Amino acid sequence: MAAALLLEAGYDVFGLTMVNYALKKDIDENHVLAAKKAADLLNIKHLVVDLRSEFKDRVIQYFCREYSQGLTPNPCIQCNRKIKFGLLMDKAREYGADFFATGHYVRCDFDNQKKRFILKKAKNKAKDQSYFLYCLTQEQLKYAHFPLGEMKKDEVRRKADDLGLPAAKRPESQEICFIPDNDYVNFLKKKIPESFRQGPILDRNKRQLGKHKGILHFTIGQRRGLGIASPYPLYVLEIDAYNNAVIVGKDEELQERSLTASQLNLIALSEINLPLTVKARIRYKHREADAVVVPLNKNRVRVEFLVPQRAVTPGQSVVFYDGDVVIGGAVIDGLNH
């Protein structure tokens, strides 16, 4: 659809399909064939870029490493930063492209006053994907086009159907692309079996309540799978990778007033020197919350919430907004109890 809209606008377009990684060879082959069919229908050139090795090194190893350290990573953000808008964009430019377009539901404008490219939420807020793209740099945004950002999902499907594009009726996928069945625990067992070591399940007072079969089975806020008899529901509060322990407690103990985050990337601003009032989102489907971002150094901030937030998860990203504008974001690395 992105290609079709650009063709209508008068651009000279060619298509790139990125082969990254799949558990089954036929999944990659089906993706390539579907993309080629769409390119043929649009009468544009279609090229395939093999990035399997790079994807494995920069996304899958990151995914495994983060989980082994008790974190809950977001591989899609890492892929956008390093692969799609990194290596794939570079390859497009090598092939002579002036711009690099994707089907993400976001908008990008140039602010003449700030002299910066600004990333904005999509017109269709229900499908907005700006959370996943806060990591993009000014250099990457300079070459990025997002033709679907002004359209609603039903408009896209209707237009794709009118054009006879094969993806018009294809169901959406919410799964991690390299884990088609969404069974990340089984995937990690195959990749890093040494990380599945038995350890204690503790309460906040370090009292042992049970045992676990590996910290990689758990994430913050999880209730199921603890295997502990208790007079009240227990939830995962913290994953202590150093001691191979899972800390549990009551639901109200999941509330956090602040967090620290590193790997700060700013889009709407060049830097944050003073506390900044924002709307903050601590994961993709989370409702934005009023917060103050306090700079700690060039790459690290503290985020203080006006209302405590439930299940803040290290390894996930916190993204800052001013209305529709993405200010920037960072990776959550610690909680302040």
- What the chain holds in terms of domains, given with CATH numbers, is 2-163 (3.40.50.620), 196-249 (2.30.30.280), 254-335 (2.40.30.10)
Nearest residue to 309 (alpha-carbon basis) of 238, 257, 237: 257
pLDDT of residue 115: 96
Compute CA distances 30 → 17, 183, 210, whole Å: 11, 21, 45
Whether 116 contacts 270, CB under 8 Å: yes
pLDDT of residue 233: 94
pLDDT of residue 171: 64
Whether 215 contacts 70, CB under 8 Å: yes
10-residue mean pLDDT series, the chain (337 residues) = 94 94 65 90 96 94 96 96 97 97 96 96 93 98 96 82 73 74 90 95 96 95 91 95 96 96 98 97 95 97 98 97 98 79
Percent composition of the chain: helix, strand, coil (DSSP 3-state, to 5): 30, 30, 40
Whether 36 contacts 56, CB under 8 Å: no
Helix (H, G, I), strand (E, B) or coil at 88: helix
pLDDT of residue 168: 62
Instruction: Give CA angle at 141 (67, 114), nearest 5°.
Output: 115
What are residue 201's DSSP bridge partners?
A: 210, 246
- Token pair 């971002």 is found at 293
Catalytic residue numbers?
79, 177
> What CA dihedral angle connects 167, 168, 169 and 175, to 10 degrees?
50
Chain-centroid distance of CA 67 in Å reads 15
Compute CA distances 201 → 41, 56, 239, 244, whole Å: 56, 32, 10, 9
- From CA 90, how far away is CA 84, in angstroms rounded? 9
Task: Report pTM.
Answer: 0.94
What are residue 45's DSSP bridge partners?
A: 14
Nearest residue to 242 (alpha-carbon basis) of 191, 199, 296: 199
pLDDT of residue 165: 78
Other C-beta atoms closer than 10 Å to the C-beta of 6 total: 18
